[in-house]
Amino acid sequence: MSNELTDAIVGMREDDALAIVGRELDSGIAPTVVLDEAKEAMSVLGKRFECGDAFIPELIMGGEIMKGISELVKPHLRGPGDAAKRGVVVIGTVRGDIHDIGKDVVVLMLDVNGYEVHDLGVDVPTQAFVDAIGQFKPQVVGLSGLLTLAFDSMKATVDAIAAAGLRDRVKIMVGGAPADRQVQDYTGADGWGSDVAAALNLTAQWTGGEA
| pLDDT one-digit tens code per residue, 31-51 | 888 888 887 887 788 778 778
CATH code linked to domain 88-206: 3.40.50.280
Q: In the predicted model, is pLDDT for residue 78 greater than 70?
A: no
Q: Which of 18-27, 51-60, 67-76, 153-162 has the lowest mean pLDDT?
A: 51-60
Average pLDDT across the chain, whole number: 88
Q: In the predicted model, is pLDDT for residue 1 greater than 50?
A: no
In the chain, residues under CATH classification 3.40.50.280 are 88-206
In the chain, residues under CATH classification 1.10.1240.10 are 3-76
CATH code linked to domain 3-76: 1.10.1240.10
- DSSP secondary structure letters along the chain: --HHHHHHHHTT-HHHHHHHHHHHHHTT--HHHHHHHHHHHHHHHHHHHHTTSS-HHHHHHHHHHHHHHHHHHGGGS---TTSPP--EEEEEEBTT----HHHHHHHHHHHHTT-EEEE--SSB-HHHHHHHHHHH--SEEEEE-SSTTHHHHHHHHHHHHHHTT-GGG-EEEEESTT--HHHHHHHT-SEEESSHHHHHHHHHHHTTS--
Q: In the predicted model, is pLDDT for residue 84 greater than 70?
A: no
Q: Is the pTM of this model over 0.75?
A: no
Q: What is the mean pLDDT of residues 93-117?
A: 87
Q: Are 154 and 160 in contact (CB under 8 A)?
A: no
Q: What is the mean pLDDT of residues 114-118?
A: 91
Q: Are 193 and 183 in contact (CB under 8 A)?
A: no
